[in-house]
């Protein structure tokens, strides 16, 4: 908040457009934030594209691939073309933002959507990806897109195994890292993925800012997605040429103060230390899972162990609607998310239409977890069910 206010009151100029001092200072701040965010995930500055969130970033990739499939982007993009008979693989655990764009890409290109399944309800590893279903990948698979961490179950995906299987068939790997980047150290190049996305508001930054990371060569090959000012090279009445990435994907007036705010958030996370944050959150997650296991009529939607798991803990209270659960907890000063969390297919695995979800961050304490557990233990009694 302080970083945004300082920027807006002292350096609020047009990025890459003006020749005056404010514009130069604004551009420097904008690009300095890009450098910080790139380094935070192990990337280079020219590998990060600013977006308004992860949803936009995933749509950017999907629509760029659609444009490549339509013959746009020249020879460099032709290797990215997708058509009838090709396959796109996702998982049943995906947020809709990493499912619906691929459904739409299949509809536009004639490709077939396939998916990795999850382990069934009733086991300690319930909701984790079922590695026995890796065989859905074939030599026709062109894209494999999956979440690093499920926003419902909190389960960490076995990235190395999935990437190895995808690379064995020559597929492009897209990682939704929304729920991993804020909670433990992440290095995208080391993971072996080709594309990754994440959002600022989940990592103590502002809303309205997200990032797409991709290998520089891939960004250069992808056709443009959104067109307009600031991303063009030469424009005539007949045709247009475009700047190199990442500029070619940043049309129009950009979210400059938000980028600066995200850069400040990264500074803070680095100062605290991602390893420290991870250890802190694991301890609180263990406390929460242990406490929930002692409350009758409450079941966890996802793994019941903290191993390879983050502190997004979804749960169902028997005979009580999730919205009612949320209201009772709110009356006790405890805020949880309710609904299907933009992930309907995985809720179907748990035989429920929706759930409530408590989420742990670096600012939470044992007292917070205990307050949540105390409030949760009284929900069924409040509604007179047992």
Closest residue by Cα to residue 175 from 95, 85, 103, 107:
95
- Chain CA centroid to CA 242, Å: 28
The SS3 of residue 346 is helix
Query: Per the structure block, which two tokens stand in for 350?
Result: 């748990």
Give yes or no: 106 in active site. Answer: no
Closest residue by Cα to residue 200 from 277, 270, 259, 278:
259
- Chain CA centroid to CA 360, Å: 16
Catalytic pick among 14, 39, 251, 342? 342
Decide if 219 contacts 47 (C-beta within 8 A). yes
Closest residue by Cα to residue 54 from 112, 89, 96:
96
Nearest 5°: CA angle at 7, between 183 and 209? 40
Could you tell me which residues are beta bridge partners of residue 357? 314, 337
Decide if 174 contacts 58 (C-beta within 8 A). yes
The contacts of residue 236 (CB under 8 Å, 6+ apart) are none
- Report d(CA 204, CA 201) in Å as an integer: 6
Positions marked active-site: 342
């Amino acid at each position: 908040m302080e970083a945004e206010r300082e920027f807006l009151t002292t350096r609020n100029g047009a990025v890459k457009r003006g020749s005056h001092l404010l514009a130069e200072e604004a551009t420097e701040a904008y690009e300095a934030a890009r450098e910080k965010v790139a380094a935070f995930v192990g990337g280079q500055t020219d590998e990060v594209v600013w977006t308004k969130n992860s949803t936009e970033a995933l749509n950017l990739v999907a629509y760029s691939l659609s444009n490549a499939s339509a013959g746009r982007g020249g020879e460099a993009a032709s290797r990215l073309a997708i058509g009838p008979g090709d396959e796109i693989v996702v998982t049943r655990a995906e947020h809709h933002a990493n499912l619906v764009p691929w459904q739409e890409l299949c509809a536009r290109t004639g490709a077939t959507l396939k998916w990795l399944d999850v382990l069934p309800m009733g086991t300690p590893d319930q909701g984790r990806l079922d590695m026995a279903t890796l065989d859905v990948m074939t030599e026709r698979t062109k894209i494999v897109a999956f979440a690093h961490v499920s926003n419902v179950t909190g389960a960490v995906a076995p990235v190395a195994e999935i990437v190895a299987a995808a690379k064995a068939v020559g597929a492009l790997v897209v990682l939704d890292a929304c729920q991993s980047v804020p909670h433990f150290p992440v290095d995208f190049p080391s993971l072996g993925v080709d594309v990754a996305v994440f959002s600022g508001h989940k990592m103590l930054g502002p809303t309205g800012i997200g990032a797409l990371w991709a290998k520089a060569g891939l960004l250069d090959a992808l056709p443009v997605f959104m067109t307009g000012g600031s991303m063009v090279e030469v424009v005539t009445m007949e045709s247009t040429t475009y700047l190199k990435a990442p500029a070619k994907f940043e049309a129009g007036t950009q979210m400059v103060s938000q980028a600066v705010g995200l850069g400040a958030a990264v500074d803070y996370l680095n100062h605290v230390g991602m390893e420290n944050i991870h250890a802190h959150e694991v301890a609180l997650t263990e406390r929460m899972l242990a406490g929930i296991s002692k409350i009758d009529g409450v079941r966890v939607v996802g793994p019941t162990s903290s191993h390879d798991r983050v502190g997004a803990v979804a749960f169902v209270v028997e005979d009580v609607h999730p919205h009612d659960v949320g209201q009772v907890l709110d009356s006790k000063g405890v805020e949880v998310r309710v609904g299907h969390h933009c992930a309907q297919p995985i809720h179907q695995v748990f035989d429920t239409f929706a759930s409530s979800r408590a989420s742990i961050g670096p600012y939470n304490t044992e007292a917070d977890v205990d307050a949540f557990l105390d409030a949760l233990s009284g929900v069924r009694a409040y509604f007179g069910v047992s």
